[in-house]
Amino acid sequence: MIELARLRFSRGEQVIFDEVDMRFERGEVTAVLGPSGTGKTTLLRLIGGQVRPKSGVVRVDGTEVSRARRKRLYALRRRMGVLFQNGALFTDLTVGENVAFPLRAHSALDEALIRRIVLFKLEAVGLRSARDKYPAELSGGMARRAALARAMALDPEIMLYDEPFAGQDPVSMGVLLRLIRRLNDALGLTSVVVTHDVNEALSISDRVIVIAGGRVIGQGTPDEVRAQRHREPALAQFLDGAADGPLNATDSAVPLSTDLGLRFDPGVDR
């Protein structure tokens, strides 16, 4: 369903992806893992055509996204649902109105049918009783599920999840995990789950892709990725959450003394 071939993307001098190849199979849940700042959210923007690669191909169901004309790109986006990291609910609309919003914007359905669809979507995520509440009245887990119901409003074929487990307590996280897996299987979706929560992602995914340093450092089924850790130190460090290893979490772009405008002569006794 989604293919990235020889993808190169950079921001200024920082290389985000360097000749990367990825495949997301139709009907599967694929988790994209990696440390913060490795381009996981950028990957979703490339798939949605919000940004364009420097070179290489991003293809969604046969359409090369970066070359698609506006009308074709918008039609492709209507086949995608996106669960944003912060939910991105409209704060001045109720939960039901949030779910109804894409139906009103992108369809000519009458209000009676829109109401029925909204109730079905909220029932699917266990929030039908909260349809008249505002986002500020919801817990973090409920808000994330409301955002998921809105993302599913137009019955997308592709679901893109941007850090869906961030800031969730264990119970809410468990509910989201079950929903992602259940909805994917029941509706035949192609799901891309971007996250850094290793154990949670491995528990629901058909395939896993781990990225770091502009390259893919591991990919395959969860068991295959676990087995690859023995020959890829960066992968082992990430999966184990180890502080020491090739993945450096500190800002080491330039020495502090350079930023401060200080000069140090090693021949001078300080």
Residue-wise pLDDT tens digits, 120-157: 999 988 889 999 999 999 988 899 899 999 999 999 99
**β-pair partners for 17:** 9
Amino acid 148: pLDDT: 92
Does position 213 have pLDDT exceeding 60, yes or no?
yes
Instruction: Place 255 in a pLDDT band, splitting at 50, 70 and 90.
Output: low
In degrees and rounded to multiples of 5, residue 219 shows phi and psi of -160, 155
Amino acid 163: pLDDT: 87
Tokens 């941007």, located at residue: 162
CA distances from 73 to 67, 81, 118, 234 (A): 9, 14, 26, 36
Amino acid 233: pLDDT: 86
Q: What percent of the chain has pLDDT over 70?
A: 93
**Helix, strand, coil: what percent of the chain each, to 5?**
40, 25, 35
CA distances from 175 to 41, 172, 220, 231 (A): 23, 5, 25, 34
* pTM (2 d.p.): 0.85
